[in-house]
A and B are shown apart, each in its own frame.
Chain A
Amino acid sequence: SQKIEQNSEALNIQEGKTATLTCNYTNYSPAYLQWYRQDPGRGPVFLLLIRENEKEKRKERLKVTFDTTLKQSLFHITASQPADSATYLCALSSGGYNKLIFGAGTRLAVHP
């Protein structure tokens, strides 16, 4: 069955460092991969989308890579800030009507 794995353990880093979160998938060939941010008690908010034919996408301090051979996406936050503390979800789609499949998310804690 299709499976998406994100590190279930929280990632703790110091302010100013680069945070790197991992999303691995199996039994799936997604055409699109998305990353969302979720704060406690709130709904997820879209951050970035990357297509299967793109290797890397950037937006301000965020960078996403997508390696369809390794079946992995990496999500980087450079110059991290305490305000970046949240749970980050990856989601995959193979096509129509946005039937996204979500990972369980990784909680990031950025310490001053």
Chain B
Amino acid sequence: DVKVTQSSRYLVKRTGEKVFLECVQDMDHENMFWYRQDPGLGLRLIYFSYDVKMKEKGDIPEGYSVSREKKERFSLILESASTNQTSMYLCASSFGESGANVLTFGAGSRLTVL
């Protein structure tokens, strides 16, 4: 069964802490994505990567950075967490560059920043 695995389901951090959210996929997909999901706002794209060491900003990249050193792993980094970054974070992957390809999501990481 193909999978996107997010290492942490629930995290509680303090304001100003550095936070790492890890995502691993076992499908040999080229593309990987980080979204955040907030009530009433839907999924908003933070960053995506279409190849190792490549990254592109999404719609809301401020306050975040990413790292993709290996094809299967895509990390989201909050350099200095703030309370407005409390959210559900979803990692996804897909194959190829056609807009017809679908996303496979992880189970999500719920981050609370106090």
Contact = CB atoms under 8 A, between A and B. Distances in A.
Nearest to A50: B100
Interface string A72-111: 0000000000000000010101111111111111000000
A103 B107 CA distance: 19
A49 B102 CA distance: 8
B91 to A, nearest CB: 8
Given A94-B99, A97-B50, A99-B45, A43 B40 contact: no
Contact of A89 (B42, B44, B48, B58): B42
Given A42-B108, A43-B90, A43-B92, A98 B41 contact: no
B99 A32 contact: yes
A43 B104 CA distance: 9
A89 B99 contact: no
Given A89-B43, A105-B42, A46 B104 contact: yes
B25 interface: no
Interface residues of B, number: 30
What is the interface of chain A mostly: helix, strand, loop, or mixed?
A: loop
Given A93-B99, A95-B99, A96-B97, A43 B42 contact: no
B31 A98 contact: yes
Given A97-B48, A105-B42, A46 B103 contact: yes
B42 A49 contact: no
A4 B56 CA distance: 22
Contacts of A4: 42
Contact of A98 (B43, B101, B105): B101
Interface string B81-102: 0000000001010100111111
B103 to A, nearest CB: 6
A45 to B, nearest CB: 7
B107 A42 contact: yes
A79 to B, nearest CB: 25
Given A46-B102, A93-B99, A98-B101, 9 more contacts: A31-B99, A41-B108, A45-B105, A46-B103, A95-B99, A98-B102, A101-B45, A103-B42, A104-B40
